[in-house]
Structure 1
Amino acid sequence: MARRLYTLFLYLALPLILVRLWWRGRRAPAYRERWRERLGYVAASERQPLWIHAVSVGETVAIAPLVELLLARRPDLPILLTTTTPTGAERVRTLFGDRVRHAYCPWDLPGALDRFLRRVRPLACITVETELWPNLVHHCHAAGVPVVLANARLSARSARGYRRFAGLTKPMLQQLTRVVAQHAADGERFLGLGLPQQRLGISGSIKFDIEVRPEWLEAGGRLRRGWGEARPVLVAGSTHEGEDALLLDALAALRKTHPDLLLVLVPRHPERFDSVYRLCTDAGCKVARHSRQEPVDAQVSVYLGDTMGELMGFYAAADIAFVGGSLVPRGGHNPLEPAALGKPVLMGREVFNFQAICDQLEAVGGLVRVANGAELERECRRLLDEPGYCRQLGSSAREFVERNRGALERLYQEVETMLDRRLE
């Protein structure tokens, strides 16, 4: 009954969903492209693929090592990778080219899902981190398609939300084939919501298995040469509305004692690139835009990273890394990306998406959390004034990542077991 009411609500909301998609297309035209795929109108598959769903950029990057491992070890297995955002689609193209097929994931509507499943005929479905949709799981289960929630995480906050809708949550969890959780605490929360014990596995987070690619280091080196290698650089990655102004305030205060400090702002969403540029110029900053390859002279105080897919190159060029989505209630983004590069990491306190990782990284001295703009300025100043402390923080961050590798292989073994059963 709960799922039927949920479905009725979605169908009633469908006109508004379509209008919102069209409205978002005003600022990001890619939202208006291939929109019929969201209703399940995808090209038919010649061979049964493994369907992997990663909602957007963060999930795509997180699952990329598993996709690479599958491509290497099971080259005859076709892979369909779905996302819900154009930025996620662009990241799929950047990472994999034509080695995988991309489509937009259908909305959680029975008609769209049945149409999608008939056309794709997936061998199995792997959905990433927190992507659980009642109709998706139900219709896959009814069609005999196993569903694995991989690299799964569930914060205490999210668990409370799911618990309020137990009539939807418990049946959905009982229809999952497997949940491979990042941490034991995540697993306990899934069990508390109704997941059968025998369907839970713990792998650790595959985000620790990030490989530092030579092209990131090369990009970082090119950027530093263009900026001036002696300049101190603060890279603020994946920022959200409300954070950029705080960073600009901190920059103004810090440049009184460090006049050559360069702030690199990398907004999370491309539709904000122009508004962040205007925010910087309104604050009196001279700005260079990466997309235009504008030169950086001594008067430039802000470099705007207004392209997609280059964040790791920016982090590689940093002296200090701030990870966004954490000074506003968005749950934070992945601190392991700059940590793997040996950068000292600063974040706000809104990190519920990465709570366990942030707690552990902070405990080993690789992360400093700040509550507001004033604390951000204070900690940046300490890192700039104390090079030894800055190096120690970065070294601790890198060592933390190295010690926790291995989750990728454990997750791969879980997936391989499921695939072998399907192919018997």
Structure 2
Amino acid sequence: MPSALPATLAAYRRLSALAAPLATPLIARRLKQGKEDPERLGERRGVASAPRPPGPLIWIHGASVGEVLAVAGLIERLRALNVRILLTSGTVTSAAIVARRFPPDVIHQYVPFDSPRFVSAFLDHWKPGLALFIESDIWPNLILSSAERRIPMVIINGRMSPRSFPRWRKLRGTISALLECFDLCLAQSERDGERFAALGCPNVVTSGNLKLDVEGPPADVRKLERLKEAMQRRLVFVAASTHPGEDEIVLDAHRRLASRMPQLLSVIVPRHPNRGGAIAQMLTAAGMQVALRSQDELPGPDTDMYVADTMGELGLFYRLAPVVFMGGSLVPHGGQNPIEGIKLGAAILHGPHVFNFSDIYESLDQAGGAIRAETGEDFVKLLGHLLVNPIARQRSVGAAEGVVNRLGGALDKTLAALEPYLLQLRLEGGSDA
């Protein structure tokens, strides 16, 4: 905890305390937008919806789905040490993923809004013995209040994007005061580590990217068999985690390639499932025969494009597709994580906008483990080449697996770095007093 807060943080703490009554209209608006769970609104005010378990408790916080999934292996290893886990995140989709993918003894709570009153209520109840913040989801009151209570804090899988770094550098006094509260920062890469150190983080270690050690997403065997039967050995292409502006590019590619590949079935999995209906309408208006998964529809023999607008089913489609396009990359969103698709044997195609995963894509592209399309026209040509050329696909998949194996190992390094904190937890006996 810094001895004196910079003026920016002192002002933030005062204003966020005064703004606490605004939580009610904020929550109401987010409810209308589908961004809050109506059954768990109290958690946003720090009111717990579950009892604190006895014994050592580690609090792990991540912003959303990607961060939560990145720590699946770490949570499994920590549970094996008889440590209870509190996992917080800020989105409805991440809560759904936790419920579907994690053991029931992993407690999920929505992170409280960053007001001193809500944060204090949260910490008073949970009293964590160790706090792990994934990547760079930095909330001042959450961090400062934890530091005041002398809760050891570690940044794990630390990432400082090329966009965030120059912004924070302009507020170096502010970010430095926050980063000084952390005992340790485990950075994804040397580049990330240098950025954290430049912003004032006192103890930075490069441990690698936990996302490289994540297993491929699971798939329900019965659902997989039903899809295989429905697809009838068709040539399947999946556009995964698409964002607005990319679905039209996928449509154009399907139109142009289907004339040469009449058995082609293109599957669009939107990053936000609530866009599924609008995507289906757009495709139908363009003359496509469309099936919508959220309506329990399966692709039939005449289906051109299948919109898989459901949560947590990418594992199904990665297993069915020889080629996967990773969305968020043909528009300037920053790309999506390609590792899960690689782990399940898909050849990876992506656009130029991958700054959220720049180190991973740079290594993959250099090795031929991912194929980069600079434009929509490139996308059509490269997709067509991969779909008809199994040797090119196999070469790319093999190169990708080599990169992932070479860059992996972050999980073991992270656990080794956390061992002193875990030992202290065991010595203290997990007191929740």
| Residue 195 (str. 1) matches residue 198 (str. 2) | no
Identify the match of residue 74 of structure 2 among 57, 66, 70. Answer: 66
Alignment correspondent of 1:244: 247
- Residues in 2 aligned to 1:31 and 1:20: alpha-carbon distance in whole angstroms: 13
CA RMSD of superposed structures (Å): 2.1
CA 1:269–1:215 in 2, change beyond 3 Å: closer, same or farther?
closer
**Structure 1 position 213, deviation (Å):** 6.3
**Residues 22, 31 of structure 1: 8 Å contact kept:** no
Equivalence for 1:185? 191
The within-5 A match list for 1:176-325 is: 176-196=182-202, 199-212=203-216, 215=219, 220=224, 222-229=226-233, 231-325=234-328
Q: Distance in 1 between matches of 2:53 and 2:300?
A: 54
Q: Percent identity?
A: 37
- What per-residue deviation string (whole Å, max 9, x for no partner) do you get for residues 210-242 of structure 1? 22467478865653332121x211111111111
Please report the TM-score for the alignment, with normalisation by the length of structure 2.
0.91
Contact 1:129 1:153 (8 Å CA) reproduced: yes
Structure 2 counterpart of 1:39: 45
Residues 46 and 338 of structure 1: CA distance in aligned 2, closer, same or farther (over 3 Å): closer
The match for 1:132 is: 138
Who is 1:7 aligned against? 13
Q: How far apart in 2 are the matches of 1:57 and 1:214? A: 15
1:82 is aligned to: 88
* Distance change >3 Å, CA 215–CA 34, structure 1 → 2: closer
Q: How many angstroms apart in 1 are the aligned matches of 2:57 and 2:306?
A: 42
Name the residue aligned to 2:63: 55
Counterpart CA distance in 2 for 1:155 and 1:220 is: 36
Aligned-residue offset at 1:31: 3.8
Partner amino acid, structure 2, of 1:205: N
| Superposed displacement of residue 346, structure 1 | 1.0
Match of 1:403 among 388, 401, 406: 406
User: Would the aligned equivalents of 1:22 and 1:32 in 2 still touch at CA under 8 Å?
Assistant: no
TM-score normalised by the chain length of structure 1: 0.93
Unaligned runs of 5+ in 2: 1-6, 428-433
* Counterpart position of 2:147: 141
Residues 314 and 102 of structure 1: CA distance in aligned 2, closer, same or farther (over 3 Å)? same
Q: Which residue of 1 aligns with 2:335?
A: 332
CA-to-partner distance for each residue in 1:17-76, whole Å, 9 max, x for gaps? 65454334334274433122111111452425211112211111111111111112x12x
Equivalent-residue separation in structure 1 for 2:289 and 2:27 (angstroms) = 35
Post-superposition Cα deviations, 1:364-386, rounded to whole Å, max 9, x if no partner, equal: 10111222322211111111232
Q: Distance in 2 between matches of 1:134 and 1:40?
A: 15
Cα deviation digits, residues 317-364 of structure 1 (max 9, x gap): 111101111122221110111111221111111111100001001111
Tell me, in whole angstroms, the C-alpha distance in 1 between the residues paired with 2:19 and 2:254. Answer: 44
Point out the more displaced range, 123-132 or 368-377: 368-377
Distance of aligned partners of 1:46 and 1:382 in 2 relative to their CA distance in 1, 3 Å threshold: closer
Distance in 2 between the 1:281 and 1:15 partners? 45
The range that moved more, 304-313 or 359-368, is: 304-313
Question: Could you tell me whether the CA contact under 8 Å between 2:217 and 2:315 is conserved in 1?
Answer: no
Paired residues of 1:148 and 1:176 also in contact (CA < 8 A): yes
- Does the CA-based 8 Å contact 1:52-1:81 persist in structure 2? yes
> 2:431 matched to which residue of 1?
none
After TM superposition, give the deviation of residue 395 of structure 1 in Å: 2.0
